Structure 1
Amino acid sequence: MDQQNPQPTDVENLVCSRCGTVAEGAPATWTCSVENGVRHYLCESCARENIRAIEGRLDSEWW
């Protein structure tokens, strides 16, 4: 992974951490979070259902 481009360069299939949906590549509508140094992906449906919880974890400087 390139330090200037945080996107994985060799993405095969991503799996939603919540529902298990599998996608090829990195869909633009999915959400990625890093928790304890581990990337977690949420599909569009799970991200929409949990947007308030996701926003609640952002540092106050993002607001």
Structure 2
Amino acid sequence: MTSLPGASDQGGSIAERAILVCARCGIPSDGPQPATWTCSVENGDRQYFCDACSRENLRAIEGRLDSAWW
């Protein structure tokens, strides 16, 4: 296996190891996407929301889902 210069073979791509920033409040993650964060695809772009913003807006998130997902 060949790595890019400066990259490591620790698993995952550079993009997967990037620090995420909450699209609502701007708080950075401590590393890759934490399990408690929410990922949303809006207008073709991925947006990540921290656990606090996800909890605060849970009703709005659920309201966009088809009833089959309830």
Aligned residue type for 1:13: I
- Residue deviations 1:3-60, cap 9 Å, x none? xxxxx84320111010001011110000001011111111000000000000011123
The TM-score normalised by the length of structure 1 is 0.78
- Alignment of 1:13 with 2:14, yes or no, is no
Partner of 2:60: 53
For 1:18 and 1:32, the matched residues in 2 are separated by 12
Partner of 2:37: 30
Of 53-62 and 30-39, deviating more is 53-62
Partner of 1:5: none
State the superposition RMSD in angstroms.
Answer: 1.5
Runs of 4+ in structure 1 off by over 3 angstroms are: none
For 1:17 and 1:40, the matched residues in 2 are separated by 6
Residue 52 of structure 1 aligns to a residue whose secondary structure is helix
Structure 1 unaligned spans of 5+: 1-7
Structure 2 unaligned spans of 5+: 1-11
Count residues with an aligned counterpart.
56
